[in-house]
């Protein structure tokens, strides 16, 4: 059972979490988030009071099943069919602009 936490987070605690998260917060933001995070923690501790005995764990609230087609081997595209709509080609490859290499800069 989770103990109910009804105390307000301190600004120092929020600053510590922000530092761990590599966030820079103004004093006004720290004070604002202290209130918000306190309410979140209160809500989580309230959820801890629920009786969940006999409730099966689940990954989704609805009974969802993936609908997949049969995995059947099929004939792939020929090289000519794959290159048919390519704007540029250098048989048997797609031709693309150079994106890595000498750019003249540092």
Q: Which residues pair with 90 in a beta bridge?
A: 93
4 close to 43: Cβ distance less than 8 angstroms: no
Q: What's the confidence (pLDDT) of residue 42?
A: 92
Strands 89-90 and 93-94: antiparallel
Inform me whether the pLDDT recorded for 105 exceeds 60. Answer: no
For position 6, what pLDDT does the model report? 61
- Whether the per-residue pLDDT at 37 is higher than 50: the answer is yes
Instruction: State which residues form the domain around 15.
Output: 1-53
- CATH number, domain containing residue 29: 1.10.20
- Phi, psi values for residue 15, rounded to 5°: -60, -40
The C-alpha atoms of residue 57 and residue 26 are separated, in whole angstroms, by: 40
Q: Are 83 and 89 in contact (CB under 8 A)?
A: yes
Q: Residue 98: inside a domain, yes or no?
A: no
Residue 24 · residue 18 · CB < 8 Å: yes
pLDDT for 65 equals: 83
pLDDT at 28 over 60: yes
Largest CA distance in the chain: 70
State both tokens at 50.
């629920």
Instruction: Work out how many domains the chain is built from and give that number.
Output: 1
């Amino acid at each position: 059972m989770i103990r109910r936490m009804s105390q307000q987070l301190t600004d120092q605690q929020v600053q510590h979490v922000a530092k761990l998260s590599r966030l820079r917060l103004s004093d006004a933001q720290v004070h604002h988030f202290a209130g918000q995070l306190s309410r979140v923690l209160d809500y989580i501790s309230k959820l801890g009071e629920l009786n969940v005995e006999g409730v099966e764990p689940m990954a989704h609230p609805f009974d969802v099943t993936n609908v997949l087609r049969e995995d059947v081997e099929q004939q792939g595209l020929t090289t000519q069919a794959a290159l048919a709509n390519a704007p540029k080609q250098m048989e048997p490859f797609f031709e693309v602009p150079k994106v890595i290499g000498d750019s003249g800069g540092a």
